[in-house]
Amino acid sequence: MRSALILSARGAGDPVMPLATADPAPGRCRRHVRPPAAWWRALILACGLAAAPASRAALPEIALAVGGHKLVVEVAASDPARAQGLMHRRMLPENRGMLFVFRETALHAMWMMNTYVPLSVAFLDEKGVIINIEDMQPHTQDTHPAARPAKYALEVNQGWFRKRGIKPGARIEGLDLAPPPR
């Protein structure tokens, strides 16, 4: 008859878990190793961070210029990035924004659901010419459409265009650096 020796470790709040079962026969040892609960919690947290929404993932950034004024924009070129936009952001630094690159030139519209920062959006044609500029209020579901088919939309802090005297007809430079839509 054989007897077994059970070795165990105990973490805070963890039940007793066998680490190894030693067989009295020389040279024979069977291992039954289970990671402690803290290890599982860390793994679940890591997986959750990897699956974080697009707002948390770093988007590509490019520099744009219009009328001698420069700004740095994040580029939303994928469906998830365009859907997320600037939602859930509590602030947007001056001279920063988001460029939406659409798959097709069409009558696009923007809204401000779950967006905390008042924004201005400029709709642009394929050449980067501003079609129209709309001011948008936070947490509203009002739609703000392009006046005619647009390829891009550029969101910045509300009043950014007005403070710099930028109006429809002005051309945004640097769009050729944006990744293609996907």
| CB contact at 8 A, 100 and 106 | no
pLDDT at 57: 64
- Prediction pTM value: 0.70
Q: Give the model's confidence band at 37: pLDDT under 50 very low, under 70 low, under 90 confident, else very high.
A: low
pLDDT at 140: 95
96 — phi, psi (to 5°)? -125, 160
Expressed in angstroms, the distance from the first to the final Cα of the chain is 68
Output the CA–CA distances (angstroms, integers) from residue 42 to 16, 36, 37, 51, 123, in the order listed. 20, 10, 9, 14, 44
Q: Which range is most confident: 1-5, 16-20, 157-161?
A: 157-161
Q: Give the model's confidence band at 27: pLDDT under 50 very low, under 70 low, under 90 confident, else very high.
A: low
